[in-house]
Each structure stands twice: as C-alpha cells, then as structure tokens.
Amino acid sequence: IYLLREFGGSEALPELAELLDDAEPGVQREAVRAILKIGTDRGYQVLQQALTSGTPRSRESIMLALGSDREERCAPLLTYILEHVPHAGELGWVYTKAIDLLGQVRDPDSVPALRAALYRGEWWAPRRTAALRRSAAAALARVGTAEAIEVLEEATASGPRSARSAARAALASGRRGRAGGGRA
C-alpha cells in the first residue's frame, strides 16, 4: 500500500479499491489514506462506491479511517460524501458522520456543503431532520469562519423552524465557548 500511495498515483486506484474490501482493518485504513493522498474526484468516487456497495464492516472501517485522519486532506472527501451520499436510509449514518468529521476538521471550504446539509430534510421525518440540522449547525459553528457564522445567522432569520432552532443553539454554544476562552 505504501508503494502504491507513493508511486502509483491515480493508476493505483483499482488496486487500492480492492484493498478496501480486505478483512484486515489496518489494510483498509491504509488504503483509505492512500486514496486520500491521491486526492482526485476519481479516488473519491472509489471511496463513495465502497461506502455504497461495501459490507457494513467495510463502511465502518472506512469511516473510522476518516475519523482517525483528522487532517484537512480528508475534507474534500467528506464534502464529496455530503454531495453524493443520501442522508437517509442505510447510508444516513455515513452522511451524519461526514458532517461531524467536517466540524472536527474545521475546513472553511466545507461551508457550502454544510449549509446544504443544514437545509436538508423532509417534513415527514421531523426527528431525523432536526438531528441532521443540529449536526450541520454544530459543524458550522466549529468551523467558525465569518462565512460559517453568516450561514448560521441567515438560518436563524429565515430558515425552516428546526434549522432556526439548531442555528440559534449553535451560535449560543459558540458564544459561550469564545467567552470561556475556548474555541467553538
């Protein structure tokens, strides 16, 4: 995997994709890291395909690898997940985990995808929608850029009810965090 990561480039993606199904979690983790290092849309498509068609165990391993790699280089993949993976159904937890990880990474380029997540949801699933919006608002507050705060303020003024509520709570939490000397 190390050699594929260092010297293979995009041509190594088919081999790395096969390693995502390996029974050994360490092999899966290193394959994810290698694909992240390649950093192309084609690589993100490989990971998305593995998340969509893989076993529950391989999905969990991929998301654990992304969670353990809290570097900004995983932010484009997490953003890609928000744009291409359904927020409900079998992959709903992957979508929510991607939101949470974007909040941890604090990548300013993820604000548009997090804004879309803040407004995503269905009226017939109010609890899921509210939880999704709380996660997106919290992630935006953690990003903490002027653009992210602007999205939250916009949501408090004119968003759907659960988005307004989530944005207000995230802004209040962020203010408390800054007042206490910590970062929101």
The backbone torsions φ and ψ at residue 40, rounded to the nearest 5 degrees and listed phi first, read: -110, 160
176 or 93, greater pLDDT: 93
Q: Which amino acid is at 136?
A: A
- Tell me the pLDDT band of 184, cut-offs 50, 70 and 90: very low
**What tokens appear for 45 in the block?**
């498509």
Reported pTM: 0.84
State percent of the chain over pLDDT 70: 92
Q: Averaged over 141-162, what is the pLDDT?
A: 95
* Long-range Cβ contact pairs of 146-151 (< 8 A, separation 24 or more): 147/108, 147/111, 148/108, 148/111, 148/114, 149/174, 151/111, 151/114, 151/115, 151/118
In the 8-state DSSP scheme, what is residue 21?
Answer: T
Residue 97, pLDDT > 90, answer yes
13 or 111, greater pLDDT: 111
Q: What is the pLDDT of residue 170?
A: 95
Asked whether the beta carbons of 38 and 4 are under 8 A apart, the reply is no
Q: Averaged over 61-73, what is the pLDDT?
A: 76
Residue 98, pLDDT > 90, answer yes
